[in-house]
Amino acid sequence: MKLNVNGTPHNVDVDPRTPLLYVLRGDLELNAAKFGCGLGQCGACTVLVDGEPAFSCVTPVALLADKQITTLEGLGTSERPAPIQRAFIEAQAAQCGYCIPGIMMRAHALLQKNPRASEADIRAFLEPHLCRCGTHMRILRAIHRAQAEMMSANAGGSG
């Protein structure tokens, strides 16, 4: 079947019931999304489907024909990181880093939809994510940092 990932169409030969996460990591070698719990309860596998966060570990690819899938690789590269990635690096928000790609994806989705999201909005929206290392305060700082950068970029008209 056809999958559109990060703007690139892919043809994959898989059972339509296969979780998206397996296809991303196993077939397309996009390894940012992580396998955590496999139950949609930890958030490590979060990607965007048509701009909305989704748990790729419980999302069969059958649901994804004609939809745009975005993974962390689609936001930016190590040479040209997206604002959310730059902010996480600058705030040193990762400890082991396993949960961070999923958190970045959901935070990115929130800031796209609501650039003025409050601290309370951010906390509520990120509730589905677990971080065992406990870098929550740094994660929050990083998201505020990305928010400031995105808003000043918008203000300058450079997008």
Partner 1 sequence: MRLLRFALAFCVLLALTAGVFTIVAWRPAIGPIAPPAVNSFDPALVKRGAELAAIGDCDVCHTVPGGRALAGGRAVPTPFGSIYSTNITPDPETGIGQWSQAAFQRALRLGVRRDGAYLYPAFPFDHFTLVSDDDDNALYAYLMTRAPAYAPPTPDKLPLPLNIRFVMFAWDFLFLHPGPYRADATHDGAWNRGAYLVDGLGHCGACHTPRNLFGAERADLKFSGSEVEGWTAYALNDLSPAPVPWNAAALRHYLRYGYEDSHGVARGPMTEVAGDLHAIPADDMRAIATYVAAQMNHAAPEQDVVVQGAEMQRDRGTTDTAASADSQSNALRAIDTKNDEGAVIYAGACAGCHEGPRALPYGGIDLMLTSAIGGPSANNLVNIVLYGLPAAEAAHAPIMPGFAGAMNDAQIVALARYLRARFSDKGPWTDIAKSIHDTRNRGRPLTIGHPAVIEPAPSGRSTAGAQ
69 or 94: whose CB is closer to partner 1? 69
Tokens, residue 158: 């450079």
Check residue 70 and report its DSSP letter. Answer: E
3-class DSSP state for residue 153?
Answer: helix
Q: Least CB distance from residue 147 to partner 1, whole Å?
A: 21
User: Residue 104: how many CB atoms within 10 A of its CB?
Assistant: 25
19 part of the interface to partner 1, by CB under 8 A: yes
Q: Which stretch binds partner 1 (CB under 8 A): 61-69, 74-82, 138-146, 149-157?
A: 61-69
Cβ atoms of residues 107 and 44 within 8 Å: no
59 or 85: whose CB is closer to partner 1? 59
17 part of the interface to partner 1, by CB under 8 A: yes
Q: By CB neighbour count within 10 A (0-12 exposed, 13-18 middle, 19+ buried), where does 128 fall?
A: middle
Q: Pattern 26-55, binding to partner 1, x per CB under 8 A?
A: -------------xxx------xxx-xxxx
Dist CA 159 CA 144 (whole Å): 17
26 or 154: whose CB is closer to partner 1? 26
Q: What residues line the site for partner 1 (CB under 8 A)?
A: 16-19, 39-41, 48-50, 52-55, 58-63, 67, 127-128
